[in-house]
Amino acid sequence: MTTTSGGLREFDLLEQTWRHVTPDTARRLLIAASQAFADRGYHATTTRDIASLAGMSPAAVYIHYRSKEELLFQISKIGHELSLAVLTEVQGDDPTQVLANAVSSFARWHAEFHNTARVVQYELSALTPEHHAEVVELRRRIEAEVRNVIEAGVETGEFDVPDLRGATLAVLSLCIDVARWYQPGGKRSPEQIGDLYADLVLRMLRPAA
């Protein structure tokens, strides 16, 4: 049973994202770090902030993670994998349905899990070159997933796009940017944002009259 209180609801969503991380203390540190990184940014967050949010001493961080950057990498990697999974799990009878579900789910994910999404989308440059490369490969697969759905719709004649890669870029960009402007207390729920965006994207790709 989840509560409806703002702060606790936020915490529940973070718990949901990181539920597979063990042991318990390592998970609490990841949750604290993703909260802090999303709120203040990676560089503005101190290891003392993270430890304090997790209710521990500053030194406790280094029992479970080698460095502050390793904490960022875990969040970024798992976050990318989750957002990719959201896309690969999408179903539908035809490209129109599949794309509508993909956009709806992907945009909704960036709203609902905007904390994780912000770290995923805006802290790439703080990763070490090796970790950055690993994450870029996941991003390539996310882009390919969306491009393939649009391409399938072009082949059936359901979509009409002048520039496949350009359209893919725009669709992804639209969904990703939700993480920037979304606010939990706002007038649109994550579900409503997903519906709105699925509709707008289908309008954008439909053939002319």
Partner DNA sequence: GAACATACTAAGCGGTTGCTTAGCCCTAAG
Partner DNA sequence: CTTAGGGCTAAGCAACCGCTTAGTATGTTC
Of residues 14-33, those binding DNA (CB under 7 A): 23, 25
Contact status: 157 vs DNA (CB under 7 A): no
Q: Given the rule CB under 8 A, which residues bind a copy of itself?
A: 40-41, 43-44, 121-122, 125-126, 162-163, 166-167, 169-170, 173-174, 176-178, 180-181, 188, 196-197, 199-201, 203-206, 208-209
Among 64, 65, 105, which Cα is nearest to 82's?
A: 105
- CB hemisphere CA count around 53 (13 angstroms): 21
167 binds, among a copy of itself, DNA, none (CB under 5 to 8 A by kind): a copy of itself
Rounded CA-CA distance 131/100 in Å is 32
What's the alpha-carbon Rg for the chain, to the nearest Å? Answer: 18
Rule CB under 7 A: choose which of 3, 46, 128, 192 binds DNA: 46
Q: Is 48 in the site for DNA (CB under 7 A)?
A: yes
Question: Under the criterion CB under 7 A, does residue 40 sit at the interface with DNA?
Answer: no
Residue 209: name its binding partner from a copy of itself, DNA, none (Cβ under 5 to 8 Å by kind).
Answer: a copy of itself
Decide: is 39 part of the binding site for DNA (CB under 7 A).
no
* Residues 53-82, interacting with DNA (CB under 7 A): 56-60, 62-64, 67-69
Tokens 């875990």 locate to 74
Binding partner selected for residue 25 from DNA, a copy of itself, none, CB under the kind-specific 5 to 8 Å limit? DNA
Under the binding rule (CB under 7 A), the answer on residue 128 touching DNA is no
Give the span between the Cα atoms of 145 and 141, in whole angstroms: 6
Answer for which of 17, 34, 35, 45 binds DNA (CB under 7 A) is 45
Q: How far is the CB of 53 from DNA (least distance, A)?
A: 12
Answer yes or no: are the C-beta atoms of 139 and 80 closer than 8 Å. yes
DSSP 3-state of 90 = coil
Query: Can you say how many angstroms the Cα of residue 107 is from the centroid of all Cα atoms in its chain?
Result: 9
Answer yes or no: are the C-beta atoms of 187 and 125 closer than 8 Å.
no
Q: Do residues 93 and 101 touch, judged by C-beta distance below 8 A?
A: no
Burial degree of 162 (CB within 10 A; 0-12, 13-18, 19+): exposed
The contact set with DNA (CB under 7 A) reads 23, 25, 45-48, 51, 56-60, 62-64, 67-69
